[in-house]
Amino acid sequence: MNIPPLTPVPLAPLDQPGVSGAAGTGPVPARRSRVSRFGLAAGIVALVAIAGAGLATVLGGSNGASSPEAAVRRLADAAAGEDILAAAQLLPPSEVGSAADLYDLVIKVLQKNDQLGPAGKPLAGVDINVDDLELETTRYGDRVAKVALRDGSFGVKVTAADVDPRIRETQEAFGGPVTDSQRSITVREILDRLESVSDAAAEAGLGEGRISGLYLMTIEQGGRWYVSYHYTVLEYLREALGAELPEFGPRVQGEGQPSPDAWLRKGIAAIDGLDENAIADRLEDLAGQPSGPSSIGDVTSGAINPPEVQAFADYLPLFTHLAAAMNEAFAQFGDGAGSRLDAPDLGFLHDAADRVRGLDISIKASAEPKVTMLSGDRALVSLRQASLDLRIQGEVEGEVVDVTLSAEVYDGRCSRWRLRTLDGRGRPQTGRGDRCTDVFAGTDFPGFFYAAVKTDGAWYVSPVETVVQYARFALEAELAR
């Protein structure tokens, strides 16, 4: 079935009123100083933004704009033109991967399940208006900028006769008839309402933070600017909590590898040959480390695609602030017994290391990765063959331990295992299994995988692209079913 192409939306002129700050180490104040305060509304706005994140992941894009304000204006133009793909091009590649490629698949699945009509136009009959936007830009360094909406209006007009027939039938079955309607609201009306919420929150003593207005956060990637839902959600949360503005310092640096499967090979090599002393040494190292991560590298070990973790690296102090705020709330409203978000005490690992040294442990592991290239900078890494042999013998607190595990992955999608242990009376007992998965039947699913992407000439694990590719196989399997 052919899906009609969506008509591109012409770009609006970018000489509208607004201010662009120069790049630097701190924020460049916008000329207008009026601040809209609405502490309690932060949660509502954040929830809306999080919901938008799910839509963004379905649509995705990688084109961007020449400046922060241009990115927001182009997004507004795309919304006004009901052009889903054009809007997708204003979302950061690091947040949506190649998800734009899923658009046709989503349309076909909806049509197959009789949830969308033959025309394949989910926004038919819906006319969105975004008019007279007045924007102000505040830059934070050279890669992050806040674009505030100061004036303008939004409107939605529904022409019932033009709404997709399947969507109209679904709405009428569950929510009543679809009728002609038209609604609009101005940016100033939104700000006034949020101001009232802020006043009510302040009178009730709720929260220390104040949100500065209605805005979108934009980021620079590859010389282009994008509207970021990660930064937008985190910035609203930061303002609502009254936390300090991040420094937005250097970009995250990873430890890229020369090939897509190098991370898998590196992981297998780290496991192969482990014995009781090597495991105990690692436990001792963990026990001696400070509680909680001091940088995003502590969490990702440099394996994750750096742009995908940049937002969380920038806002890492926010999470410490959030934990402190929750602990304060627990102290005020709770009973104070166990109601805290403290970093775990890892001292118990010293005792665990001593117990491990008293055992006889051997581990042998091997793997033959399979690399499926999707493009010059994207690949899927799965297991063609892999094996693991584990043996543990000895005593722990007077109890005899004797465990033998053999596990194997074969043909990419199949696995078999055999486990031998002792029961409560010290007698041997054995379990085994052998099965293959057809979870994505009818597709070229290579077996369970992770996606790797190439950034600045090196390969990294990409959680975003991994999710996108599993979604692709799920959609293809649905079409084949």
DSSP string for residues in 386-436 = EEEEEEEEEEETTEEEEEEEEEEEETTTEEEEEEEEE-TTS-EEEEEEEEE
| Range scoring the smallest mean pLDDT among 66-70, 151-155, 408-412 | 408-412
Do strands 378-396 and 449-455 pair parallel, antiparallel, or not at all (unpaired)?
A: antiparallel
Strands (E), 224-317: 224-227
Q: Is the pLDDT of residue 290 over 90?
A: no
Stretch 370-397: mean pLDDT, rounded? 95
Stretch 298-315: mean pLDDT, rounded? 85
Q: What is the dihedral of CA 296, 298, 300, 304, to 10 degrees?
A: 60
- CA dist., res. 239 & res. 236, Å (int): 5
- CA dist., res. 16 & res. 142, Å (int): 22
Structure tokens at 398: 């007077």
Stretch 37-60: mean pLDDT, rounded? 39
Stretch 163-174: mean pLDDT, rounded? 92
- Give residue 41's pLDDT band: very low, low, confident or very high (50, 70, 90): very low
Over residues 413-465, the pLDDT tens digits come to 899 999 999 987 889 999 999 999 888 999 999 999 999 999 999 999 999 99
Stretch 256-271: mean pLDDT, rounded? 95
Stretch 57-72: mean pLDDT, rounded? 77
Over residues 138-163, the pLDDT tens digits come to 999 999 999 999 999 999 999 999 99
Q: Is the pLDDT of residue 14 over 90?
A: no
- CA dist., res. 352 & res. 446, Å (int): 39
Contacts 24+ apart (CB under 8 A), 221-225: 221/64, 221/92, 221/93, 221/94, 221/307, 222/64, 222/93, 224/63, 224/64, 224/65, 224/66, 225/64, 225/65, 225/66, 225/67, 225/68, 225/70, 225/71, 225/145
Share of the chain above pLDDT 70, in %: 80
Q: Please name which of 102, 122, 100 lies closest in space to residue 111, comparing C-alpha atoms.
A: 122
Q: Is the pLDDT of residue 258 over 80?
A: yes
Q: Is the pLDDT of residue 6 over 50?
A: no
Q: pTM, whole model, 2 decimals?
A: 0.80
Q: Is the pLDDT of residue 466 over 60?
A: yes
pLDDT for the residue numbered 8: 34
- CA dist., res. 447 & res. 456, Å (int): 28
- Give residue 28's pLDDT band: very low, low, confident or very high (50, 70, 90): very low
User: Mean pLDDT, the chain, as a whole number?
Assistant: 83
Q: Is the pLDDT of residue 25 over 80?
A: no
Structure tokens at 274: 């482990």
Say if residue 420 is exposed, middle or buried (CB neighbours under 10 Å; 0-12, 13-18, 19+).
middle
pLDDT for the residue numbered 330: 66
Helix (H) / strand (E) containing 86: helix 84-88
Which residue is associated with the tokens 């932060």?
A: 42
Q: Please name which of 437, 435, 450 lies closest in space to residue 477, comparing C-alpha atoms.
A: 437
pLDDT for the residue numbered 298: 52
